[in-house]
Amino acid sequence: MGRQLEPKIIICCDCKQEFVFTVAAQEYFLERGYNEEPKRCKSCHTKYKKLQRSNNHSQVEQEPSEVHIVE
């Protein structure tokens, strides 16, 4: 175990609330090769995804994944 991940506190870009980018979520991101940190808390992320889905049907299939922030 060379990795030393720690939970990170991130400010949600939508609601400006702090949320925790958990170690489990970081590992999930790493596994998938995502370099970016999430910008939204879980609830805003869910809302954002729904909005994207209703605004843009054609791209939904190509979305790499639903990124769930695992608590």
Q: Which residues bind Zn ion (CB under 5 A)?
A: 12, 14-15, 41, 44
Read off φ and ψ for residue 19, nearest 5 degrees: -140, 165
- Min dist CB 20 to Zn ion, Å, is 12
Shorter beta-carbon distance to Zn ion: residue 15 or 24 = 15
Please report where in the chains the tokens 């609601």 appear, as a residue.
15
- Min dist CB 43 to Zn ion, Å, is 6
Shorter beta-carbon distance to Zn ion: residue 31 or 46 = 46
Which residues have a Cβ under 8 Å from the Cβ of 12 and sit 6 or more positions away? 18, 19, 39, 40, 41, 44
